[in-house]
């Protein structure tokens, strides 16, 4: 299975998953890049996967369906235009005619119904987990988001993480304020700067890499706890408080 990043808007990625013949698209906030990629690569659109209801992830669905009827998998508890299959935690998705299977994970936090799709050693996590960061809490609580991130972090280390936005360098700027001594963050920053200078995506990374450079997956570490304590005047009582403080700090930056 091949996975290709299609750009849209300022910093969105729509992910195209294809086998050379048939293609799925994840979070089509726009239709034009999907149509162009399918036409230029001779692919037939076979389905749409949606992680959450925000328009930069959904506005392309209806225009794509106007051209061709395909199944649309989306979270059961959110309004998703054109959805044909409402999915819940633990559901398995088998797109017709393609040799790939995805498991649905309910990952509330950014929105309450947000889902992620895991399969083929890849994760499509929408606006839940970003490289070196995480989504804003528009609907969920810190405890919900932390629980979601911890589930994603427990996936096999080689799992490739396909986030919906290119936020990596600005996330790293914050991450390095939190952990100035973290050498993995420093070398990852150098690598990401080179990728962006070449106009290439920093994504996908891996879960193993995120465990080293993503402060939101590191709220249990001494380094992050001590950094939070410097600001708050005391240590956080637990991981949820640490996560809430860290998310609040980032929101002010
Ligand atoms: Zn969003
Ligand atoms: Fe988004």
Residue 127 sits in a domain of what CATH number? 3.60.15.10
The total number of structural domains in the chain stands at: 1
pLDDT value for 171: 98
The residues placing their C-beta within 5 Å of ligand 1, an ion, are: 54, 127
Residue 5 contacts residue 13 (beta carbons within 8 Å)? yes
Closest ligand relative to 137 C-alpha? 1
Phi, psi of 248 (to 5 degrees): -65, -40
User: What's the length of the chain?
Assistant: 253
Per-residue pLDDT of the chain (253 residues; tens, 9 = 90+): 999 999 999 999 999 999 999 999 999 999 999 999 999 999 999 999 999 999 999 999 999 999 999 999 999 999 999 999 999 999 999 999 999 999 999 999 999 999 999 999 999 999 999 999 999 999 999 999 999 999 999 999 999 999 999 999 999 999 999 999 999 999 999 999 999 999 999 999 999 999 999 999 999 999 999 999 999 999 999 999 999 999 999 999 9
Phi, psi of 189 (to 5 degrees): -60, -45
The residues placing their C-beta within 5 Å of ligand 2, an ion, are: 56, 127
Could you give the residue numbers annotated as active site? 52, 54, 56-57, 110, 127, 165
Cβ neighbours for 83, distance < 8 A, ≥ 6 positions apart: 50, 72, 73, 74
Please give the Cα distance from 62 to 69 (Å, whole number).
10
> 0.85 exceeded by the pTM?
yes
Domain that holds residue 166: 2-251
- Read off the tokens for 175: 């991450």
- Read off the tokens for 56: 């930069």
Sign, Cα dihedral of 70, 28, 6, 184: negative
Q: From residue 118, give the alpha-carbon distance in Å to each of 40, 112, 150, 235.
A: 27, 19, 15, 35
């Amino acid at each position: 299975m091949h996975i290709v990043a299609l750009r849209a808007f300022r910093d969105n990625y729509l992910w195209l998953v294809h086998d050379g013949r048939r293609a799925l698209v994840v979070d089509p906030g726009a239709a034009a890049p999907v149509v162009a990629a399918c036409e230029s690569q001779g692919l037939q659109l076979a389905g749409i996967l949606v992680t959450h209801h925000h328009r930069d992830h959904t506005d392309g669905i209806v225009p794509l369906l106007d051209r061709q009827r395909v199944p649309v998998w989306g979270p059961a508890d959110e309004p998703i235009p054109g959805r044909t299959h409402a999915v819940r935690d633990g559901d398995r998705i088998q797109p017709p005619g393609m040799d790939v299977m995805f498991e649905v994970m309910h990952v509330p936090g950014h929105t309450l119904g947000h889902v992620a799709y895991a399969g083929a050693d890849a994760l499509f996590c929408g606006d839940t987990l970003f490289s070196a960061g995480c989504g804003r809490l528009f609907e969920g609580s810190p405890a919900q988001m932390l629980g979601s991130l911890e589930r994603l972090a427990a996936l096999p280390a080689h799992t490739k993480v396909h986030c919906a936005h290119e936020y990596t360098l600005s996330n790293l700027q914050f991450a390095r304020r939190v952990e100035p001594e973290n050498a993995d963050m420093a070398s990852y920053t150098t690598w990401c700067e080179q990728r962006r200078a070449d106009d290439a995506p920093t994504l996908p990374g891996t879960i193993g890499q995120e465990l080293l450079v993503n402060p939101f997956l590191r709220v249990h570490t001494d380094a992050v706890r001590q950094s939070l304590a410097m600001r708050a005047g005391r240590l956080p009582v637990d991981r949820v408080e640490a996560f809430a403080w860290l998310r609040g700090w980032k929101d002010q930056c």
